[in-house]
Amino acid sequence: MAVLGVDFGTSNSAVGIARDGAAHLIPLEPGQTTLPTAVFFDFDTRRAVYGRPANAALIGGDEGRYMRALKSLLGTSLMRESRMILNERIDFITIIARFLATLKARAEAATGARFDRALSGRPVLFHSGDAARNAQALVDLTECYLAAGFDAVDFMPEPEAAALASRDVLSPGDLGLVVDIGGGTSDFTLFRQGTAGQIDIVASHGLRLGGTDFDRALSLEHVMPGFGMGTRIRHAFGDQTHVAPNALFADLATWQKIPFLYAPDSRRAARELAQYAVERDKLDRLVRVLEDELGHDVAFAVEAAKIAANDGAVAVPEIDLGAVERGLRLPLYPVAMAATLARMADRIGAEAAETLRLGGVEPAAVSCVIAVGGSSLMQVVEAAVARQVPQARIHRGAAMTAIVEGLALATAA
C-alpha cells in the first residue's frame, strides 16, 4: 500500500515520498512543491480553485469567497457548522477534505502511483490550553483525510518529522532542538543524533501560537486604529460617547474569521458605528472593507509588510492599504514590529526552555537549534530562542521543507 507524506499546513501544504532512501517532494503546481492552503469559491465559474490560483483570484478582484488558515479551525465548533456556498450546503470538514483530495489527486497524477494511505504531520498540540479541543482536532483531521479518499491515515508530530530530516546537521551524540513556528502553532522537539543515523526523541512540546497570531497582533496595533478601533462613538441621544466595540476589528484581524464578517449583521453593525462615529472617515474605511470584501487584502498587506520589516531590505516598510483607500500606506518600522511581537516571542522562548526541562537537559547541552517554518526566521523569535540556548548554533537551511522531507522519509518505515 503506497503511503503519501502530507504536510497540511496553516499557510502552505506539501507532499512527498521516499525514493532510493531520500525524500522526494512531489510538484503540486508547475515548478512548485508547495501549495498555499487556500481555497477560492468562484461565483462566476461556480467552482472552487486551490493554491496560487485562489490567491490570484482574490488579488484580481474576482467575485467569490476566499478562505485561508483552515487548519486553525480544527477542534472548534465551526468545523461542523454548514453554510451555503455555490448553492451547496457545506461544512469545513468537507472543505478541508476536498483540499486534501486535491493534494492526493495531484500527487497521483505526478507519480502514477495510487496513495491509499497518508502519513500526516500534526502539531504536538493543536490547542495547548484546551485538552478537549485538542483531542477533537485530531478526530476532525482524521475524518477529513478519510473523506478525501484515503483508506487510512497515521500521524507524526511535525517537529519530530523535521528532526528526522535534519539528522545530517548534527554529529553522533549531539542534541538538537527543533523550533517549528508554523502559521497556527509553535512546536518543539529535543532529539539526540544516534551513532547509526537514527534519532532519539528526548522530549516534545507545543503551543497554540504562530505566524497568523503575529499578523493579528500587527493588524490590531498598526492597522485597525485607522479603521476606527479605539475611537469614540456618539450615543443616539445626548452628548455622551463610548469606545467603538472591539469585536469587528478583532475578527477582521484574524485570518480564519474574515469570511464570517461579510454576513449582513456584521455589515449592518459597521454602518451603524460609522453613522455615529466621531471620526467618521475611519469607520467609513471599515464599512468599505466589509461591503467590498477586502478583509483578506488587508491581511495580505500586513503579512507582506511583516516579511519586509523582518528582511530589512526596505528602509521604511509599509502596509499598503491602497485596495481600501487610494494612497493609504502605513509605516511598519522594524523596531515597532519587534515591540509588538516581543511578548509572543518571549512566550515561544519560554516554551522552548520548557521542552528542555521536560527532557531533563541543561541549555548548554544543546548544540544546534533547527529553525523550521517561516515564522521561525523572524528576528524577534530567533533572539528569544537564542537567549534560552545561547551556546547553540542556529540552522536555517531547511526551514520551509524539513517537515515534509521528514514525513517523506518516514513513509519508507
pLDDT tens across the length of the chain (413 residues): 799 999 999 999 999 999 999 999 999 999 999 999 999 999 999 999 999 999 999 989 999 999 999 999 999 999 999 989 998 999 999 999 999 999 999 999 999 999 999 999 999 999 999 999 999 999 999 999 999 999 999 999 999 999 999 988 999 999 999 999 999 999 999 999 988 778 999 999 999 999 999 999 999 999 999 999 999 999 988 789 999 999 999 999 999 999 999 999 999 999 999 999 999 999 999 999 999 999 999 999 999 999 999 998 888 899 999 999 999 999 999 999 999 999 999 999 999 999 999 999 999 999 999 999 999 999 999 999 999 999 999 999 888 999 999 999 999 97
> Alpha-carbon distance 323 to 341, whole Å?
26
CA dist list (Å): 329 to 262, 317, 319, 323: 24, 10, 5, 10
Q: Is the pTM for the entire model greater than 0.85?
A: yes
What is 265-334 written as a DSSP string? Answer: HHHHHHHHHHHTBSSHHHHHHHHHHHHTT-HHHHHHHHHHHHHHHHHT-SSS-EEE-TTTSTT-EEE--H
Q: Would you kindly state where each structural domain of the chain is located, as residue ranges?
A: 2-162+405-410, 172-397
Q: Which residues contact 361 (CB under 8 A, 6 or more apart)?
A: 175, 190, 202, 203
Please write the tens of the pLDDT for every residue from 189-229: 999 998 877 899 999 999 999 999 999 999 999 999 999 99
Domain 2-162+405-410 shares a fold with domain 172-397: yes
Name which CATH class applies to 172-397: alpha beta
Q: Determine the 3-state secondary structure of 97 from DSSP.
A: helix
At 52 the pLDDT is 97
| Structure-block grid coordinates of residue 272 | 451603524
Distance, in Å, from the CA atom of 112 to the CA atom of 104, rounded to the nearest integer, reads 11
Q: With CA atoms as reference, report the closest residue to 379 among 304, 294, 277, 311.
A: 311
Per-residue burial over 65-85, b = 16 or more CB atoms within 10 Å of its CB, e = otherwise = bbbbbbbbbbbbeebeeeeeb
Which residue blocks in 112-174 are alpha helix, DSSP H?
131-147, 158-165
**What is the per-residue pLDDT for 197?**
76
| Residue 112 backbone dihedrals phi, psi, to 5 degrees | 75, 5
At residue 231, the 3 state secondary structure works out as coil
- How would you classify residue 105: left for phi > 0, otherwise alpha for psi between -120 and 50, otherwise beta? alpha
Q: Which amino acid is at 260?
A: F
Determine what percent of the chain falls in helix, strand and coil, rounding each to the nearest 5: 45, 25, 30
Which run of H or of E encompasses 154? strand 152-157
Residue 201 three-state SS: strand
CATH number 3.30.420.40 is the correct assignment for the domain at 2-162+405-410: yes
Please give the pLDDT value at position 413.
Answer: 77
Convert the pLDDT of each residue in 17-53 to its tens digit. 999 999 999 999 999 999 999 999 999 999 999 999 9
